[in-house]
Amino acid sequence: GESVGLHLPTLSVQEGDNSIINCAYSNSASDYFIWYKQESGKGPQFIIDIRSNMDKRQGQRVTVLLNKTVKHLSLQIAATQPGDSAVYFCAGGGGNEKLTFGTGTRLTIIP
């Protein structure tokens, strides 16, 4: 099966700076990954996804990078804002397998 984890439980970033949140996975057969944002007291919200046939995908202020060689993906948030403070976690899986979720990194934006 798949195991998905995150490198750091917490991350503090100055407002306006860019932030990078990392995630590692174990199953080389995993071909789909999602990043979720979870604000305090709320359910996880979809941010961006990426398939294994891509190395990079960009959204609004967010970029996901996938390195299949080392089984690592990252979420980059540009020009962070106070509203970006939340827990971010990745999820991954492949084929008919259900998604496996990581534990999350708590991002704090310092004013």
Q: In the complex, which residues of this chain contact another protein (CB under 8 A)?
A: 4, 30-32, 34, 41-46, 49, 51, 89, 91-104
Residue among 28, 15, 10, 19 at smallest CA distance from 67 = 28
Comparing CB distances to another protein, the nearer of 30 and 80 is: 30
> How far is residue 22's CA from residue 88's CA, in Å, rounded to a whole number?
10
- Taking the least distance from each CB to another protein, the nearer of 18 and 103 is 103
Name which of 80 and 93 has its Cβ closer to another protein. 93
**Rounded distance between C-alpha atoms, residue 72 and residue 27, angstroms:** 11
Q: How far is the CB of 89 from another protein (least distance, A)?
A: 7
Beta bridge partners of 72: 24, 67
